[in-house]
């Protein structure tokens, strides 16, 4: 059982305050959705949790099982159990996914013995072509293939808490369903906790949200159950702005 606790988090980018006191607690097995208009600070929240450079935390805390994440470099946060599925996955020429996963597993003190089989199993599970797995990481992949690639890494690494920044962007309907179902399965099979940033109720139909938080101007203005996403789909953000 793990807990990611974000408390009164304030952060600036380029001297401008983007996060204005964010509070969210995600436990193992739970799915929390963060929805909000463009520019609300959703990607900034993901970046600050993972420690992307260029963001300054001015107040508040981010802890995983009581351990201060903000004090650690990004790779140590990942080893501790945080995992970010990026909105725009980076292309890394010359580096292959099995090499990335072998390094990541070694850093976690875990065996790489049956990694090839594991990758094959996971690729098949999300309908990912084995041929693509053998290509350089994300290079010349379609948007949907990149997100399947990200989902495969998540499945193999088995983090405690995953942050998904618009997993749905660039995905067709089948790919979206495959990726969302795999993450949902991880919440029960591996007790994964999820913080999912999305604009679309469609994603939440497969990846069942326990809580929906609405972020506007760097602050959570409303928290509710999955029905809140339906209200948003119908009425837009006007009522929450």
Nearest-approach distance from CB 194 to ligand ADP, in angstroms: 17
39 binds, among Mg ion, ligand ADP, none (CB under 5 to 8 A by kind): ligand ADP
Cα distances (Å, whole numbers) of residue 146 to 36, 39, 90, 201: 24, 24, 9, 21
Quick one: 82 or 156, whose CB is closer to ligand ADP? 82
In whole angstroms, how far apart are CA 204 and each of 158, 168, 208, 234? Answer: 21, 10, 5, 15
In the complex, the residues that contact ligand ADP under the rule CB under 6 A are 13-14, 16, 18, 36, 38-44, 54
- Least distance in Å: CB of 37 to Mg ion? 10
For Mg ion, the binding residue among 2, 28, 43, 151 (CB under 5 A) is 43
Q: How far apart are the first and last CA of the chain?
A: 35
Do 88 and 114 contact (CB within 8 A), yes or no? no
Using the 8-state DSSP alphabet, how is residue 164 labeled?
E
The reply on whether position 198 binds Mg ion by CB under 5 A is: no
Nearer to ligand ADP, 21 or 29 (CB): 21
Helix, strand, coil tally for the chain in percent (to 5): 40, 30, 30
In this structure, are residues 50 and 226 in contact, taking their beta carbons and an 8 Å threshold? no
| Min dist. Cβ of residue 36 to ligand ADP (A) | 6
Q: Measured on CA atoms in the order 88, 135, 150, 56, is the torsion positive or negative?
A: negative
Helix (H) or strand (E) holding 152: helix 143-157
Q: Is 44 in the site for Mg ion (CB under 5 A)?
A: no
Pick from 58, 104, 103, 97: nearest CA to 80 = 104
| CB nearer ligand ADP, residue 85 or residue 186 | 85
Stretch that binds Mg ion, among 11-19, 41-49, 98-106, 224-232 (CB under 5 A): 41-49
Q: Which is nearer to Mg ion, 49 or 101 (CB)?
A: 49
Q: How far is the CB of 28 from ligand ADP (least distance, A)?
A: 25
Q: How far is the CB of 43 from Mg ion (least distance, A)?
A: 3
Which is nearer to ligand ADP, 42 or 77 (by Cβ)? Answer: 42
**Do the beta carbons of residue 119 and residue 98 sit within 8 Å?**
yes
Which of these ranges, 37-45, 68-76, 98-106, 173-181, lies near Mg ion under the rule CB under 5 A? Answer: 37-45
Size of the site for Mg ion (CB under 5 A): 2
Chain residues that interact with Mg ion, rule: CB under 5 A: 42-43
């Amino acid at each position: 059982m793990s807990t990611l606790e974000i408390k009164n988090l304030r952060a600036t980018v380029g001297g401008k305050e983007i996060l204005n006191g964010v509070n969210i607690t995600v436990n193992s097995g739970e799915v929390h959705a963060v929805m909000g208009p463009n520019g609300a600070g959703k990607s900034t929240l993901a970046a600050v949790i993972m420690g992307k450079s260029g963001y300054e935390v001015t107040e508040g805390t981010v802890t995983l099982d009581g351990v201060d994440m903000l004090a650690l470099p990004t790779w140590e946060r990942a080893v501790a159990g945080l995992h970010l599925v990026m909105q725009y996955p980076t292309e890394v020429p010359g580096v292959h996914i099995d090499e990335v996963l072998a390094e990541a597993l070694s850093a976690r003190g875990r065996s790489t013995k049956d990694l090839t089989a594991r990758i094959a199993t996971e690729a098949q599970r999300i309908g990912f072509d084995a041929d693509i797995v053998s290509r350089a990481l994300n290079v010349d992949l379609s948007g949907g293939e990149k997100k399947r690639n990200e989902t495969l890494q998540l499945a193999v690494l088995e983090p405690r808490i995953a942050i998904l920044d618009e997993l749905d962007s660039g995905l067709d309907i089948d790919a979206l369903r495959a990726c969302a179902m795999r993450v949902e399965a991880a919440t029960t099979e591996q007790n994964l906790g999820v913080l999912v940033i999305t604009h679309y109720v469609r994603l939440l139909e497969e990846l069942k949200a326990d809580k929906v938080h609405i972020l506007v101007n760097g602050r959570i203005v409303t928290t509710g159950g999955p029905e809140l996403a339906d209200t948003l789909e119908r009425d837009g953000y006007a009522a929450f702005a």
